[in-house]
Amino acid sequence: MPKSIWILMVATAINITGASFLWPLNAIIMTQLLGQSLTASGAVLMLNAGAGVLGSLIGGRLYDRIGAYPTILLGCVLSAASAVLLAFYYGEYGWYAVFLAGMGFGSGMMAPSMYALAGSLWPEGGRKSANAIYVAQNVGVSLGTALIGVVTLVRLTDVFVANAAMHVLLLVYIAVFFRHWSGSKGRTAGAGIQHANKASKYRLQALWIVSVAFFISWLGYTQWQANVSVYIQSLGIPLHAYSILWTMNGLLIVFAQPLIHWVIQKGKLTLKGQMGLGLFIFALSYLVLTQAQVFSGFFVAMLILTIGEMFVWPAVPTIANALAPSGREGAYQGIVNSVATGGRMIGPLLGGIVVDGFSIQVLFVLISILLLLAIPLARIYDRPLLKEHQNDNLNNVQ
Domain at 1-176: CATH architecture: Up-down Bundle (1.20)
Our CA angle for 99, 101, 103, nearest 5°, is 70
pLDDT given for residue 14 in this prediction: 96
Say what percent of the chain tops pLDDT 90: 54
User: Average of pLDDT values for 123-139?
Assistant: 87
Give 26 or 95, the one with higher predicted confidence: 95
Secondary structure of residue 256 in the 3-state scheme: coil
Pick from 98, 97, 112, 90: nearest CA to 162: 90
Residue 160 pLDDT level (bands cut at 50, 70, 90): very high
Asked whether the predicted pLDDT for residue 197 surpasses 70, the reply is no
Q: What is the pTM of this model?
A: 0.82
Asked whether the predicted pLDDT for residue 220 surpasses 80, the reply is yes
| CATH topology agreement for domains 1-176 and 201-384 | yes
Asked whether the predicted pLDDT for residue 342 surpasses 70, the reply is yes
Do the Cβ atoms of 144 and 18 come closer than 8 Å?
Answer: yes
Please report, for the chain, the start and end positions of each structural domain, with discontinuous segments joined by +: 1-176, 201-384
pLDDT (tens digit, 9 = 90+) per residue, 355-398? 888 999 999 999 999 999 999 999 999 888 877 666 555 454 44
User: Average of pLDDT values for 60-75?
Assistant: 93
Asked whether the predicted pLDDT for residue 193 surpasses 90, the reply is no
pLDDT given for residue 54 in this prediction: 95
Pick from 217, 137, 192, 214: nearest CA to 331: 192
> What is the C-alpha end-to-end distance of the chain, expressed in Å?
45
Q: Span 201-384: which CATH code? A: 1.20.1250.20
Do the Cβ atoms of 308 and 289 come closer than 8 Å?
Answer: no
